[in-house]
Every structure is written in C-alpha cells, then in structure tokens.
Amino acid sequence: MKELNIFEATGFTSPNPLTLICTEKADGTTNLAPICFVSYLSFNPPMIGFATGKQSHTGERTRETGKVIISVPGKSLDQAVMSCGSSTGSSTAKAETYGIELVNVPDSTIKIPADTKLAFVADLKQVVDVGDHFLHICDIQKIYGDDSKEALFAWNGFGKAAPAQEK
C-alpha cells in the first residue's frame, strides 16, 4: 500500500454515486450542481446529507431557501452533468446553456431534469462546518423514482460520468 491524499482516494472508490443538487435561484429558475458528497443519514426520520464547498452557489441557495431536490441523473445527461460542474450557477443558466430539459415536481417550485432516476425533495434541517465544506443535513419530504432510467456515477475520481456498468 502507498499513502494517498484525499483526492487520490476518490479514484480508488469509483464509481461514486452522482447527484445533481437542484436549488431555486433568486430569479426563480433552477440551478443544477453535480455533487458526489451525498449520503443517506437516517431511515427514521428519512434524512439525507450533502456537502458543498464553502463558496458554492448551490450551498448558498440551499441555506437561503431551506429547500433542495437531490436528483440522480439518467445516462443521457452524462456530458451535460460534466459541463454543469465546470460553471457556476450564479452566472450561468445551466439547464438552458447545456440543453437539459427540466420538469416540475409535485409540491415544489424547484424543477429537475426530465432524465432523472431518483429525486429526494428535502428541507434543510442543519448546516455543519466540515473543513473546506458545509454539510447540509436535510429532512426528506418526498422520494420519487423511475426504475426505467439508468443512473450516472462518477468515475476516475470525478473525471467522468457514466453508468455503473459501462457497455
């Protein structure tokens, strides 16, 4: 074994679950941010958490609105997801710029990509300072899924988005 840094370690655990954190921007449109730092936290009550860098527009919007949808993108979004990670939602209309069709979710003003395998509609419960990130702890309000969709995963330490079993 050799000693690794934290970024190198992510390559050893690939593929990693990949999500698009969907938040509502100040103008009412949806921001999309690809995040792999996501985890189930509790079954009862159902809770989920995700971490964003401290300067993240997505984290800021989550903390300001208290609302978020954590979605698992489908395989048709592989290139768009990578593009979303290369720009900030504070200055880019990502869905429009990267050709991502958005759809409504019942009882939410936040939209999600049409090609979504799983979506957690959640309310922010707590924020914890964790080094260079903030951990957002959320209560899950609703869960929607479509088992006909194939989920994307992050490969090569977040260098590529693809299904778990490449064909």
State pLDDT tens for residues 60-70: 999 999 999 99
Q: Which is nearest to 82 in space by CA: 12, 158, 23?
A: 158
Helix H or strand E encompassing 59: helix 57-65
- Which residues, including other chains, have CB under 8 Å from residue 121's CB and lie 6 or more apart? 69, 105, 107, 108, 110, 140, 141, 142, 143, 144
- Alpha-carbon distance of 96 to 140, in angstroms, equals 28
Q: Give the bridge partners for 119, in sequence order.
A: 71, 144
Mean pLDDT value across the chain? 91
Residue 78 has phi, psi (to 5 degrees) of -55, -50
Each residue of 29-75: pLDDT tens digit? 999 999 988 999 999 999 999 999 999 999 999 999 999 999 999 99
- Report if pTM > 0.85: yes
Pick the CATH number of 6-162 from 3.20.20.370, 2.40.30.40, 3.40.50.620, 2.30.110.10: 2.30.110.10
Q: Which pLDDT score is estimated for 70?
A: 98
Each residue of 119-131: pLDDT tens digit? 999 999 999 999 9
